[in-house]
Amino acid sequence: MSSLQSFFALIPLQLPDLRISDDAAPPQCCGLSCNLPLPPSPPTWRFGGHFLPRRKPFLIVAGWINEYGPVITIRSRFEKIVYIGRYKAAVDIMECQGKLVAGRPPMISAGISSGGMGFANAPSGNRLYRMRRTLHSYLRSKAAKAYQPLQMSHAKNIVVGILDDPYNFQRHVVTYAATTIMKVAYGKNTHTSRAVQRHDAYLVDSIPWLKYLPWYGRDLKLRFERSKKLHTSEVNRVKEQMHNNEDIGPSFTKYMLENSHIYGFTETEIAFLAGSFLKAGSQTTSNTMCTVLMAAACFPEEQAKVQAELDAVIGWHRAPTFADQKSLPRLQAFISEALRWRPLVPDGLAHQTIKDKTYCIPAGTTVYGNVWSICRDPDVFPEPDAFKPQRWIDGQSSLRDDIKLFVFGFGRRVCPGQHVASRSVFITALLVLWAFKLTLDPTKPLEDMGFMGESMPDIRPCEFEFEKRIPETELRRMMQDYPEVA
Ligand code: HEM
């Protein structure tokens, strides 16, 4: 194709025809000249660039995507930011060419507060590659499956918690997520109540030379010292337990200490890697669990279909376990639809291109996969605003495996904890929906986007009412005798 032909081929969307495939081969566009303009931009006359509100910016971006095409560019002061808002474009740019979009835009303040040890903000390169490989090999391994009995037992505690104190349902879910992640990270049975520190915007991210002022960022440096102390003390505790031959069960930290010769991380690096679990994996999991249960209360007909499946497969004389998972496509479809309906991170997390081959997006550009819009792509999800779990089920009544749910992010930065998290969401939804019929308290306000976001909302987005589906004494007995193997 001549460069002129390729130019005309790109004019309508400035994208070639995109393919959906798992094939890692780069799409045709790779060889095209990057002298072409960036993807289209909604007009703006503001000096500061396009205006995005602090609350729910994804809704504004979704409007632009509908109007200007699947990939758009917006301006924030002097920086160009690319948003991807359709499924095919996300597959092609973020997945097939994932290596080229694996960076993160530098955030100086986060670098200082993590002493350069942070994971989620780590730039693309050898260190990130080693960290991700390590986490993947642990969190996707058989070792991580060993947490299933624990996840079951914690989900059982939610059921008992609802029986004892239904009003504090949200607290039971938060406790589930916090205790599970402490166990995975450190093998600890109790959870230390640690507020996840939000990372606000700092002036140094707009005016980088501030970092050279010796007095600047004292609070950020202090934050680093505090986290280091906290994470290191957890690692030292595990080391001591190992030294004393205590039976502490599996944990990521134990695994890393035992295999440090393979991975070659320092102890401080191990401490921060394990610490990243708590930061990234606790409130994300609890909010997602709440979203699924909120969907059940908001769509009673769909909840009833799931419960019909549970009654047929499990009945009321035994409690469900992970062993039932394969026989419950309707429940799994319901969960996928709930996550599509209200994705946890609707704006996506910022990636950054590391080479300027990706379409016409130059190296160094910040790129967001706008999960909200991608989940509402009408070509892939017809009637995108309708809640239809059926869309995840094929003609053979099995779960479809040809559509990807991007709620765990994209390509080389996809969430390494997604398998552990998905199992948590599944087992809680299974036990709670088997035991109770959920309805919304009509006297309390409903904010159905309230559980979106990576921290637990301060104000309850809704109030649930739980109606027991099984006589209470039976239910309590089954929970008491709940199996300890998955
Ligand atoms: C349902 C719960 C969860 C959701 C919805 C979720 C979602 C996400 C998303 C959207 C990202 C950004 C991906 C991207 O940049 O494209 C991410 C990154 C990450 N997640 Fe999760 N996550 C969850 C649970 C967990 C758990 C349980 C862990 C740890 C065990 C975890 C560890 C991480 C880490 C370390 C990253 C940073 C990866 C990187 O920058 O390369 N997450 N997660």
For ligand 1, atom 36: residue with the closest CA = 415
How far apart are the CA of 367 and the centre of ligand 1, in A?
17
Predicted confidence band at 192 (pLDDT cuts at 50, 70, 90)? low
Residue with tokens 């709940």: 482
Neighbours of 316 (CB within 10 A): 15
Look at residue 241 and tell me whether its pLDDT is greater than 50. yes
Distance CA(183)–CA(174), nearest Å, equals 14
Q: Say if ligand 1 is within 6 A of residue 408 CB.
A: yes
Mean pLDDT, residues 35-42 taken together: 82
Distance CA(270)–CA(145), nearest Å, equals 21
Task: Enter the tokens of residue 380.
Answer: 């892939």
Look at residue 6 and tell me whether its pLDDT is greater than 80. no
Pocket test for ligand 1, best of 126, 404, 415 (most atoms within 8 A of CB): 415
Fold of 129-345+376-480: Cytochrome p450 (1.10.630)
Task: Enter the tokens of residue 179.
Answer: 């205790």
What is the number of alpha carbons within 13 Å of residue 9 lying toward its C-beta? Answer: 16
Look at residue 376 and tell me whether its pLDDT is greater than 80. yes
User: Closest Cα partner for 185 from 128, 256, 119?
Assistant: 256
Q: Say if ligand 1 is within 6 A of residue 413 CB.
A: yes
Every domain of the chain and the residues it spans: 3-116, 129-345+376-480
Mean pLDDT, residues 179-199 taken together: 76
Look at residue 7 and tell me whether its pLDDT is greater than 50. no
Round the average pLDDT of the chain to a whole number and report it.
87
Distance CA(135)–CA(238), nearest Å, equals 18
Distance CA(124)–CA(271), nearest Å, equals 21
Say how many Å lie between the first and final Cα of the chain, rounded: 56
Over residues 429-462, the pLDDT tens digits come to 999 999 999 999 999 999 999 999 877 788 899 9
Q: Say if ligand 1 is within 6 A of residue 345 CB.
A: yes
Q: Say if ligand 1 is within 6 A of residue 84 CB.
A: no
DSSP conformation letters of 33-85: -TTSPPSP------TTBS---SS-HHHHHHHHHHHH-SEEEEEETTEEEEEE-
Predicted confidence band at 26 (pLDDT cuts at 50, 70, 90)? very low
Distance CA(343)–CA(353), nearest Å, equals 24
Report the share of the chain in percent with pLDDT over 70: 89
Task: Enter the tokens of residue 377.
Answer: 């792509």
> Which of 1-15, 83-97, 251-265 has maximum average pLDDT?
83-97
Over residues 270-300, the pLDDT tens digits come to 999 999 998 899 999 999 999 999 999 999 9
Q: Which pLDDT score, from 0 to 100, does residue 202 have?
A: 79
Q: Which pLDDT score, from 0 to 100, does residue 142 have?
A: 72
User: pTM of this prediction?
Assistant: 0.90
Is residue 360 part of an annotated ligand binding site? no
H or E stretch at 468: strand 464-468
Distance CA(176)–CA(127), nearest Å, equals 32
Q: Which residue has the higher pLDDT, 71 or 262?
A: 71
Mean pLDDT, residues 188-207 taken together: 68
User: Closest Cα partner for 479 from 163, 41, 117, 35?
Assistant: 163
Look at residue 18 and tell me whether its pLDDT is greater than 50. no
Q: Say if ligand 1 is within 6 A of residue 134 CB.
A: no
Q: Say if ligand 1 is within 6 A of residue 277 CB.
A: yes
Under a CB-based contact definition with an 8 Å cutoff, are residues 432 and 158 in contact?
yes
